[in-house]
Structures are given as structure tokens and as C-alpha cells.
């Protein structure tokens, strides 16, 4: 049996289909992946993401240590700001991708992938220097994600915080339903939304209050299945699929999150060398040109020659076609290139497309900007 989040009993009560995921018992869906996916795009969905790891770094030398561990420049991070960053090994391989919350001048919270929590903690704790400590706070927090275009109207009913003033990748420390919480304007869906952190023991209370307040907005609980299809439509990478220790941020298209002006981060020299020599492969998004649903590890071809491999694939509930991410040889990694996917020993045509694969319709006050997952919010907050 896997570990259980504080919302486990709720998932069972509302008949969530439970699976093992990264050592946790988690709901993969409730009513169905497609329905849950579409409801997040159109209304609002509620996700249990309490399985994510939380590592606190605190002390006078916290910034200096994070400068070493992360490819970003943490010195420039303001209090109450969130940043997407990457933890690299000396070879430039990705140990994990994380979100960093600056709680105070010398106190930070790292939200890390569930599968990597212990690995990340041991990597950091074994290398910290000076007046600083690393604490695994994963068991102390429950974490819920409220995502979708109607997420603000639902959450605003439960908090005095002025949510319209909260920008993407910033957070408030306030209350939700009277409970002390971190209210973060972040997510993994490409929609407007919030991630909420609070004490483990009040997780069920907050979930039930959000479900009650969200009835008029069409709120639904959402499982891991739709979480995956939503992130894949946006081209957001997932650790263990697009990211691993044999892959560098340059190959994964994450160069914009590396600050080479930070002179001390682990892996810097290797990444500079790779830039000098040139990468040999690159992560791309693609759409099927007809039938066929791509899946991880399917081979990618060009003119009968293998040029790469699919890392993630699905039938897009929004686009109604097969889509995927994969690594291909750098000379083939250009938008509009027609490629082929080997699916059950048959070749199906596809085309490399710009990420995000799903281009969300714009309104006059919602402007697309460059980016990707975590700190890569692809759409500005809608303030209408």
C-alpha cells in the first residue's frame, strides 16, 4: 500500500479511481479524464497535489546555498515571489525541476516532484554549507490546486486576500476559510489558478469548503489523468518523461531559466561546454496529421530513419487529435517538419508544432507570453 494524502478518505468516498503513483495512492480520475479535463479548461477543477515534496531551506546562508543548487539567480527573488528553477548534477543533468517560494529574507520553500523528494532532500542536505539547514516539510503540508477560468471567483469567497492583485508566480500568506495558508498563483494546467498550502490536518476541511463554494461555478474534482493531459496540451515537461538526470535543461528547451550570471551553480561548466559544442537533440511538440495516438517510448522517424523517441503522448481532449512531446535530432527539430510515429509497428504521419500545442484563445486582457511550466506561465492573469 502506498502513502496516503490527507484527502485519501474523501477520494474514496466520492469514488475516485485510485492508483499507485510515486509511492502514493492517488486518484487518476473521478467521473472521467475527458470530462475533468474539459471542465478545467471551461470552468474550474480541484486537484489534490499533497503528494508533492516540500523542502524548507532557512538560515543566514540560505541564499548562498540556493545559488549553488539552482540554475537561477535566487538573489534577485523578492519576498512573496515564486520562481521555476532546476536542480542539476555536475554534468548538467536534471536532478529535478522545482518551484522556489521566498518566504522571508533567509527562508525558502522548495516544492519538488513527489518521486524525487527523498533524492532532492539528500542531495541538498549532504551539500549545504555554513549557517543554514534543510528540513523536509512534506508531511507538514497539505496542498490543493484550484485551476480554471472560474478559479478566482470560487476562492475569493473563502479568503479576504485581494486575489485580483496577485500576479502570476507571486503568493500571499493569508487565510482560506479561516486557516493560515500560502495562496500561490501557480499551476500546471495553462489556465488561471491557485495552489494552496496549509497544515496537513485541515486538508479535508479546505477541500470540502472549496467544493461547496464552487458548485455554482461548475467545480469538479480532477485526478492525475486530466492533470497529465492538461499539462501535455501546454507542452509542460514532466520529470521521468521529458526530464531526467541524463537530460540537460538546454536539450529540454529550458535555457531561459538558466542564469549564467550566477557563477556558482552546480553544472554550470558542463552546460557552458554543451552550449559551445551544440546540443545533439531537442525536445519538440507534435500533432498527429490523421489517426493514431502516440505514447511514451514510441519511435520517431523521418524518411524511414529513426530520429528520436516520444516521451509523452495522448489524445488531446481539447484538440481532438493525437499530440505528444519527444526528443529528436537537432537538425530535425524545426516547426512544420513532417515526421512519422511508429505505433504498433505501423507508421503514422505527424508534424512538429510550436509549444504550447494548445493555443488558448486570447481575450483583450489576456495576452500570451513566452514560457512553460511552473514559472513558465503561458498566459497572463485575466483581470476582467
pLDDT in tens, 295-311: 999 999 999 999 999 99
Lookup: cell for 354: 510550436
pLDDT along the chain (384 residues), means of 10: 94 97 97 98 98 98 98 97 98 98 98 98 98 97 98 98 98 98 98 98 98 98 98 98 98 98 98 98 98 98 98 98 98 98 97 96 49 36 30
Measure CA 272 to chain center. 26
Contact call for residues 350 and 294 (beta carbons, < 8 A) = yes
Longest dimension (CA), the chain: 61
3-class DSSP string for 200-254: HHHHHHHHHHHHHHCHHHCCEEECHHHHHHHHHHHCCCCECCCECCCCCCCCCCC
Do 152 and 298 belong together in one domain? no
Inside any domain, residue 63? yes
Q: Are 169 and 375 in contact (CB under 8 A)?
A: yes
- Under a CB-based contact definition with an 8 Å cutoff, are residues 163 and 146 in contact? no
Q: Residue 257: CA atoms inside 13 Å, Cβ hemisphere, count?
A: 29
CB 249, CB 281: distance < 8 Å = no
The reported pLDDT for the residue numbered 383 is 27
CA distance 132 to 67: 13
Residues 188 and 291 in one domain: no
Q: What is the pLDDT of residue 374?
A: 39
Distance CA 153, CA 137 (A): 30
Do 225 and 295 fall into the same domain? no
Residue 311 sits in the same domain as residue 213: no
Q: What is the CATH number of the domain that holds 172?
A: 3.30.1360.120
221 and 297 housed in the same domain? no
pLDDT at site 63? 98
* Whether residues 100 and 228 fall in one domain: yes
Element holding 356 (H helix, E strand) = none
Peptide bond into 356 cis (omega under 30): yes
Query: What's the CATH code of the domain at 330?
Result: 2.40.30.110
Average pLDDT score over the chain:
94
Let me know whether 210 and 319 are in one domain. no
> What are the start-end ranges of the E strands in the chain?
17-21, 24-29, 45-48, 53-58, 82-88, 94-104, 107-112, 133-136, 141-147, 171-176, 179-184, 193-199, 220-222, 281-288, 299-302, 305-315, 322-329, 338-343, 346-353
Q: In sequence order, which ranges of 98-168 are alpha helices (DSSP H)?
A: 117-125, 151-156
C-beta of residue 316 within 8 angstroms of C-beta of residue 323:
yes
In a domain, 108, yes or no: yes
Question: Would 245 be classed as within a structural domain?
Answer: no
Task: Give the pLDDT score at 369.
Answer: 37
Residues 300, 220 share a domain: no
Give me the pLDDT at residue 47, please: 98
Structural domain of residue 312, as residue ranges? 280-353
- Regarding whether 139 and 25 lie in a shared domain, the answer is yes
> What is the CB neighbour count within 10 angstroms for residue 10?
18
- Angle among Cα 45, 46, 48 to the nearest 5 degrees reads 145
299 and 182 within one domain: no
Claim to verify: residue 30 and residue 178 sit in the same structural domain: yes
Helix axes 224-234, 33-42, angle to 10 degrees: 60
Q: Structural domain tally of the chain?
A: 2
Of 232, 247, 272, the residue at which a domain comes to its end is: 232
How many angstroms separate the CA atoms of 229 and 313, rounded? 9
pLDDT of residue 363: 56
- The Cβ of residue 273 has, within 10 Å, a number of other Cβ atoms equal to 11
Domain-located, residue 175 = yes
Question: Is 325 within the bounds of a domain?
Answer: yes
375 part of a folded domain: no
- Residue-level pLDDT at 376: 39
Boundary residue ending a domain (232, 247, 262):
232
Residue 238, domain member (yes or no)? no
Same domain, 192 and 316: no
Give the model confidence (pLDDT) of 101-151 as tens digits.
Answer: 999 999 999 999 999 999 999 999 999 999 999 999 999 999 999 999 999
- What is the β-pairing status of strands 171-176 and 179-184? antiparallel
pLDDT on residue 375: 36
The pair phi, psi for residue 39, each rounded to 5°, is -70, -30
Does a structural domain hold residue 240?
A: no
Eight-class DSSP state of 161? S
Amino acid at each position: 500500500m502506498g502513502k496516503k494524502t490527507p484527502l485519501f478518505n474523501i477520494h474514496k468516498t466520492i469514488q475516485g479511481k485510485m492508483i499507485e503513483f510515486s509511492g502514493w495512492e492517488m486518484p487518476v480520475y473521478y467521473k472521467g479524464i475527458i470530462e475533468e479535463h474539459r471542465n478545467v479548461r471551461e470552468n474550474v477543477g480541484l486537484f489534490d497535489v499533497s503528494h508533492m515534496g516540500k523542502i524548507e531551506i532557512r538560515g543566514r546562508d540560505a541564499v548562498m546555498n540556493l545559488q549553488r543548487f539552482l540554475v537561477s539567480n535566487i538573489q534577485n527573488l523578492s519576498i512573496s515571489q515564486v520562481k521555476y528553477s532546476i536542480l542539476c548534477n555536475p554534468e548538467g543533468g536534471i536532478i529535478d525541476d522545482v518551484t522556489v517560494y521566498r518566504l522571508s529574507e533567509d527562508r525558502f520553500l522548495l516544492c519538488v516532484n513527489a518521486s524525487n523528494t527523498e533524492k532532492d532532500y539528500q542531495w541538498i542536505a549532504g551539500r549545504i554549507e555554513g549557517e543554514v539547514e534543510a528540513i523536509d516539510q512534506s508531511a507538514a503540508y497539505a496542498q490543493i490546486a484550484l485551476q480554471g477560468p472560474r478559479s478566482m471567483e470560487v476562492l475569493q469567497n473563502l479568503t479576504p486576500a485581494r486575489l485580483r492583485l496577485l500576479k502570476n508566480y507571486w503568493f500571499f500568506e493569508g487565510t482560506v476559510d479561516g486557516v493560515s495558508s500560502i495562496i500561490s498563483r501557480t499551476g500546471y494546467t495553462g489556465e488561471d489558478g491557485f495552489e494552496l498550502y496549509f497544515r496537513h490536518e485541515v486538508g479535508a476541511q479546505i477541500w470540502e469548503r472549496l467544493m461547496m463554494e464552487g458548485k455554482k461555478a461548475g467545480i469538479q474534482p480532477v485526478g492525475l489523468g486530466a492533470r497529465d493531459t492538461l499539462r501535455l496540451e501546454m507542452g509542460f515537461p514532466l520529470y521521468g518523461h521529458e526530464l531526467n538526470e541524463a537530460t540537460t535543461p538546454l536539450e529540454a528547451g529550458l535555457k531561459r531559466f538558466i542564469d549564467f550570471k550566477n557563477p556558482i551553480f552546480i553544472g554550470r561548466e558542463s552546460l557552458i561546454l554543451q552550449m559551445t559544442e551544440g546540443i545533439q537533440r531537442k525536445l519538440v511538440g507534435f500533432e498527429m496529421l490523421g489517426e493514431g495516438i502516440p505514447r511514451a517510448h514510441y519511435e520517431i522517424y523521418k524518411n524511414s530513419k529513426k530520429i528520436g523517441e516520444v516521451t509523452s503522448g495522448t489524445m488531446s481532449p481539447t484538440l481532438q487529435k493525437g499530440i505528444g512531446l519527444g526528443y529528436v535530432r537537432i537538425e530535425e527539430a524545426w516547426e512544420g517538419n513532417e515526421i512519422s510515429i511508429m505505433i504498433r509497428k505501423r507508421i503514422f504521419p505527424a508534424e512538429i508544432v510550436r509549444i504550447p500545442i494548445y493555443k488558448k484563445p486570447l481575450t483583450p486582457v489576456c495576452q500570451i507570453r513566452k514560457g512553460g511550466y511552473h514559472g513558465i506561465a503561458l498566459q497572463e492573469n485575466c483581470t476582467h
